[in-house]
Amino acid sequence: MHRVKCTISYDGTLFSGYQVQVDKRTVQSEFEKVLKHIHKGSTVRIAASGRTDAGVHAKGQVIHFDTNLMILPANWKKALNSTLPEDISVMDVEIVDNHFHSRFDAKGKEYRYYIDLSKERNPFNRNYAFHYPYPLDVNRMVQASSYLIGTHDFTSFCSAKTDVEDKVRTIMNIECIQNESQLTLCYRGNGFLYNMVRILTGTLLEIGAGAREPEDLPNILEAKNRNRAGKTAPAQGLFLWEVFY
C-alpha cells in the first residue's frame, strides 16, 4: 500500500461542509466517489487536516489516502482532476511515508477571512466575502488583535458544539490587510477550534465598529464563556489557506 498526499482547493458554496453526511453533498463524499471509480468499485477513505463547515472554502486543504495502485503523482493529479466536480481541484500530489497523517502531523494552519467594505453589495462577491458596508476603524482591530497573539485558552471563541476538551491554542500572527474596499484578516496558528476564526472575526468587527473596546479582549479570554465574545461571522468569507507540516 502507498500513501498519497493531496493539496486540494474547493469552493464551499454548494457543499454541506467537508465531512461525509447522510444524503448531503460534501467534499469528502465527492472525493471518495472518484477514488472508488478509479479503484474499480473498492472503497477508499480519505483523511483531511481538518473539517470545514458548509459554505467555507479552501485554497490549501490537505488530505491523504492509501492505495495499492502504482500511479505517478502527475498521473494521480490528472486522473483526479479529470473526474472530480468543477468546484474541487487537486493542486499538488505527493507519495509520502506511510506514517504521514494529514491531521496529526500538521504543525499549523493559516486561515483568511475576506470582508467586502463597499457601500453597494457586489453580487459577484456574495459567496466569497462578507459584505460589511458600515464604518470600520481597522486600527482598532489591529490593536485588539495584539491581545490574541500567543498561547491562550480560546473557550470564549469557539462554538458550544466543540467536542474537544483542550481549548488551548497558539496564534502566531494576525494580519489585517486593507486594499481599497476589501479587508482581509489573516490568522496563523498551531490549530483552530470549531468556529474559532469566525468568532474571532465577528468580535474584531464589533471592536472596529466601536461596539467593544480593544482592551475588552483579555477579559473575554479570561471568562472562558462563549457568550462574552462577539457574533459568529458568516461562513462564505472564510478560506482555509494553507496547512504547515
Q: What is the DSSP string of 189-236?
A: ES---TTHHHHHHHHHHHHHTTSS-GGGHHHHHHHT-GGGS-PPPPGG
Work out the average pLDDT over 141-170: 95
d(CA 211, CA 87): 38
Number of residues assigned to the chain: 245
Work out the average pLDDT over 109-121: 97
**pLDDT grade, residue 209 (50/70/90)?**
very high
Work out the average pLDDT over 183-211: 98
Q: Specify the pLDDT at position 163.
A: 84
pLDDT in tens, 59-103: 999 999 999 999 999 999 999 999 999 999 999 999 999 999 999
Contact 100, 49 (CB under 8 A): no
Q: Specify the pLDDT at position 29.
A: 98
Contact 110, 179 (CB under 8 A): no
Q: Which three cell numbers stand for residue 125?
A: 462577491
Just list the catalytic residues: 53
> Comparing C-alpha atoms, which of 216, 212, 209 is closest to residue 183?
209
* pLDDT at residue 161 greater than cutoff 90: no
* pLDDT at residue 236 greater than cutoff 90: yes
φ, ψ of residue 177 in degrees (nearest 5): -115, 115
Q: Specify the pLDDT at position 196.
A: 98
> Comparing C-alpha atoms, which of 82, 89, 75 is closest to residue 4?
75
Mean pLDDT of the chain: 97
